[in-house]
A and B are shown apart, each in its own frame.
Chain A
Amino acid sequence: MANLFFPTRIAIALACAATLGTYPVRAGETKITENGTATEEEAPEYKNWIELAIGSVSVRGDEAQFKQEHRISGDIFGGIQDLHLEQSVGKKGQLTVDGHAIFDNHDYDVRLDLTYPGIGYIRGGYTEFRSWYDGNGGFFPVNGQFFSPPHPEMALDRGEAWVELALRMPKLPEITLHYTHLFRDGRKDSTIWGDTTPTGVAVNPTRKIAPAFRDINETRDIFSVDILQNFGKTDIGLGMRYEHSEVNDRLQLERNAGQLPPVVAAPGAQRFITDNGRNQLDAFNGHVTTETRFSDSLWFTSAYSYSTLDSDISGTRIIGAGYDSMIGDPILTLQSNDHGVLNLSGVAQVQEHVINFNLLWMPAKKLTLLTAFRYTREDKDSASSFLDSNTAANTAPFTATNPAGGFHRITPVLRSGDTGEAFNNFAETLELRYAGIDNWVFYARGDWEEENGNVKEHIVAAGPVDQGSMNKDTDLLMQKYTAGVNWYPMANLNVSGQYYHKSSDYDNHFISELATAPVVGSERNQRLLHQELDTDDVNFRVTWRPKLPPKLGTIAFVTRYDYVHGTIDGQWGISPANPPGVGLTGITYIEQRTAEITNHVITESVTWNPCARLYLQGNASYVLNKTDTPADFNLIPNTSPTVLDFKNDYWTASGSAGFALDDKTDLRAEYSYYRADNYQDNSLVALPYGMGATEHTVSASVSRQIAKNVRLKVQYSYFHYTDETSGGHNNYEAHAVFSSLQFRF
């Protein structure tokens, strides 16, 4: 544990910071300081700046969890924290370069902009940043079972390279060409955890806690062109967009972790699954838009869009003795119903037409009316076929490669499926705003959406056995009604309130059903015939800046309360389209509540400037969130519920202070706190999921202007996180130092 507190790399970082601080000191004239956000001091004579930075982190405990949460590399990192250059080009042109490049944090961003007023501009840039992921899976408290992840720390890089050319010449159409290349490349964790039986539970011991991860490889190339021309009071826009994307992701799972001889009898059960899904997609969109301003109080806009999307699907799902196995690789631990997928091949096509009209009308100066209408027609057809690789029990004579109790692959069989969907969707909006009473604004809005469609699924099972088609008509009616008010009773007081009710009603009318054989003594396949999702949301906000005696400075309070209540009701039935004589055809059950969600959020924010040289800020929030599920009853043979009502309660609090110590030096300190207390150990009957965690973060920095155009900043941060749900495996404690030196020129 040599790298616990202030190890060598932190000492190096501090040394570098001290070296940066030895830059010759000259008296500064500036009387106003920066606050560490994007609103920095602007010395008028300097338009360019570069800020060099170096930092380091020392973590004790789960370093990956720290990186995942705070997105800081655990090693020494540094580079250009901020860069801004601007330069005149020719008589009117302006070249601007902005960016940053922090090495080892994989955090890069550069943007170039060359603008000639009256002609146009060319812009381009490159952005890349890294996200870290903790490879830990689940923790089972009964016997402390925990599987070390194959990759304790994972990272995914996301980036974009782009260029945009625009023509902005008087009396000519505005033309904009844009090309962008986006990518995601790396590895991240997954919550699709694998199963294991050594859990110390006597009955039904299987729990799914084995770590899983995904290998991500995705690219997108998008080219677009937009042309905008003004004709009197009307702007007409034409545009097209072409996208090619490639997804080649792999989900990596481990099943029956730890279940190899001698833990269990030969041949064991531990095996690995690599599910590789590939999708090549080409999408084209063409659109035309109009914006007509008949007057300042009457605008009309319209749009038509046509989109088409074609994708080629391929992939495999192979179960093997290790990750990324080949189908022919030997494996002794196959189990019953270990389905694999080979030679997946498919296509999907989507076509969409969208028509849109909007009107803004101000019939009186203080009354605004907004309306919008949208029609969408969407058709989707897709089909896929693959070889289903299943297993069968080994038979005698048993050998080392054909063990008793084991399974082997059988000849793959062809399976296929195809689906078709068609939807007509109409959406309308009407909003009224009234500001006719001084210091008040009232608004009301209605949103409606009506949709009718048809969904068809056709499946050919192994055999091949044509299971026929499930064919259903669907209807949706969405309604949302919003009302709100903003009131300014005093210049330093603002009261805001809003309420909305949203309701989504779905209906499914089954025309035909898959011809699956009924299971004797079992339930027949229930289908969702009707579902209603209702949400009531109300929130209040008070922003108050009371006048204090001059000696006490200024203060501002923001108080906010949000309440959300949601319900989901469903009506199920034995599909009325079941073939005659099969199962309980046509039974419809009464509607029942399948979930009730309540959410209370109260937050308070205070900003106090007791004097010009000091500010204090504080934020606190308390959240009570609960999802009631009707499934919280005892499941045979358990004597307590397996599925619990789910709670997401938590506290957060943060505070910051800034202090101008003298004419050149600022001090700044921050603290934040997070606490969730919903852990409930029901491990004997389930996997405990409720989150129990506490986090403290403290940081302090000093910033000093060491010359008129040079500013040095040194910062120290401390992090402490404990996680009950993970059994402490995600806990960490970290120290970070960071220093930057800004030159203006």
Chain B
Amino acid sequence: MRSNDPGFLSLLAAVRYSRLTRWIRGRREKLYWVAAGAVALTVVLLSCSSFESNRAIVAPPSIPGAEFVGSDNCATCHEAIARDFSTATHARLKAEGDNAKNIGCESCHGPGSLHVKSGGGARTIVNPRKSPATCFQCHTEVRAKFDLPHHHPVLEGKVSCADCHNPHKGDAIKGGGANVQQTLKGGGTAWLSQNETCFQCHTAQRGPFVFEHEAVREGCVSCHSPHGSVNQRMLTERSAALCLKCHFQQQTTAGRIFIGDSDHTARLPQGTCWSAGCHEAIHGSQVNSHLRY
């Protein structure tokens, strides 16, 4: 049958516009889920009964074949980490009592028996610096952000949680709180310490600028969602609504919007505040107090 055969085209159209086809199209995503669920269920039913094998497979993060040995064993070699852990934000997880006795190093690093046995051998312990799955066990909301189109490349292994967070000592967020020691040890100057984590990589945004954007002092997170965002540049808002969070001043003329001493009524429809010709130097300017360029 030729592709331009009238009969074939008629059949094709009948199929394309049939009620069944339209029904499937309208429910395509739901059908994907149903199909995926059916496949998963089939795998479950078949796999555990139909093949002969004694092998075990474990879900990440874990160490196949390893058993829990307790945090005291870890302190034998990792003395400083064990000692300083009392100062860490994560120490809030440690409780007394039988139900909490397994909470310790192995909660994040996986069972440590093989690591102890091998004298610290490579790949015998979960290393969250290489696999963020450990952190995602509790911080599931952060896991979701790394799945968004704009995110720091943590899942891709280019950046690790530990680049910005310190799980073992002091504030979990590097440079956070009043304790500055970890910032010093991290090599920062402590200048604008809460942003120092970001400036490690984003050098140009550090300035210093002759004319600062004061929002940077409040923190990079005023405008950016550091784990991930649906918006480009990981912005918290991708429109003038971002800037107007702070810059919406008292309006005195109906239907018009003033910012500073300038009427922005005709400008806001054009695009964002940081568009070309407007406030391009949004992190700070060397020449213009309005951060024009």
Contacts and interface: CB of A to CB of B under 8 A. Distances in A.
Contacts of A443: 92
A657 to B, nearest CB: 6
Nearest to B130: A38
A438 B99 CA distance: 8
A660 B55 contact: yes
A317 B184 CA distance: 37
Given A491-B98, A643-B239, A346 B210 contact: yes
B275 A194 contact: yes
25 contacts: A42-B121, A129-B158, A285-B189, A352-B190, A356-B181, A429-B177, A429-B179, A433-B91, A439-B97, A441-B100, A484-B92, A523-B258, A592-B248, A594-B245, A605-B136, A605-B140, A612-B55, A613-B51, A616-B40, A619-B143, A652-B148, A657-B40, A687-B270, A687-B271, A693-B149
B58 interface: yes
B88 to A, nearest CB: 10
A382 B269 contact: no
Contact of A617 (B59, B261, B272): B59
Contacts of B114: 42
Interface size class of A (residues with CB under 8 A): 35 or more
A386 interface: yes
Interface string B52-90: 111111111111110000000000000000000011000
Interface string A699-711: 0000000000000
B157 to A, nearest CB: 9
Nearest to A184: B203
A356 B183 CA distance: 11
Interface string A196-239: 00000000101111101000101010101010000000000001
B179 A372 contact: yes
A247 interface: yes
Which interface residue of A84, A184, A303 has the most chain B CB atoms within 10 A? A303
A39 B62 contact: yes
B268 A643 contact: yes
A447 B250 contact: no
A47 B122 contact: yes
Which 5 residue pairs of A and B lie closest in terms of their CB atoms, listed nearest first? A208-B271, A438-B97, A621-B144, A439-B97, A611-B48
Interface of B: 32, 36, 40, 43-44, 47-48, 51-65, 86-87, 91-100, 102-103, 110, 114, 118, 121-124, 126-127, 130-131, 133, 136-138, 140-141, 143-144, 147-149, 153, 156, 158, 177-181, 184-185, 187, 189-191, 193, 201, 203-204, 207-212, 218, 229-233, 235-242, 244-250, 252-253, 255-258, 260-263, 265-266, 268-272, 274-277, 280, 286-287, 289, 292-293
Contact of A193 (B143, B212, B261, B276): B276
Interface in A578-614: 589-590, 592, 594-595, 597, 601, 603-605, 607, 609-614
B96 A218 contact: no
Nearest to B158: A129
Contacts of A421: 212
Nearest to A648: B230
B271 A589 contact: no
A659 B210 CA distance: 60
A676 B147 CA distance: 12
Contact of B137 (A191, A558, A636): A558
B56 A32 contact: yes
Contacts, number: 494
Contacts of B121: 42, 47
B287 A457 contact: no
A384 to B, nearest CB: 5
Interface in A333-389: 339, 341, 344, 346, 348, 350, 352, 354, 356, 358, 360, 362, 366, 368, 370, 372-374, 376, 378, 380, 382-384, 386
B19 to A, nearest CB: 25
Given A303-B181, A309-B191, A613 B55 contact: yes
Interface in A282-330: 283, 285, 287, 289, 299, 301, 303, 305, 307, 309, 311, 313, 315, 317
B230 A650 contact: yes
Contact of A354 (B141, B180, B261, B287): B180
A734 to B, nearest CB: 14
Contacts of A220: 203
Contacts of A611: 47-48
Contacts of A528: 246, 249
A642 interface: yes
A382 B211 CA distance: 9
B244 A417 contact: no
A80 interface: no
Interface in A39-82: 39-42, 44, 47, 69-71
Contacts of B148: 650, 652, 674
B261 A525 contact: yes
B99 A560 contact: no
B138 A558 contact: yes
B208 A659 contact: no
A536 interface: no
A654 interface: yes
Contacts of A656: 59
Given A39-B131, A346-B210, A636 B265 contact: yes
A382 B210 contact: yes
Contacts of B130: 38
Given A191-B272, A305-B189, A372-B177, 5 more contacts: A31-B56, A287-B184, A659-B43, A686-B268, A689-B239
B187 A488 contact: no
A541 interface: yes
Given A488-B100, A613-B48, A616-B40, A348 B210 contact: yes
A630 B276 CA distance: 25
Given A289-B181, A662-B53, A601 B204 contact: no
Contacts of B250: 526, 572, 589-590, 592
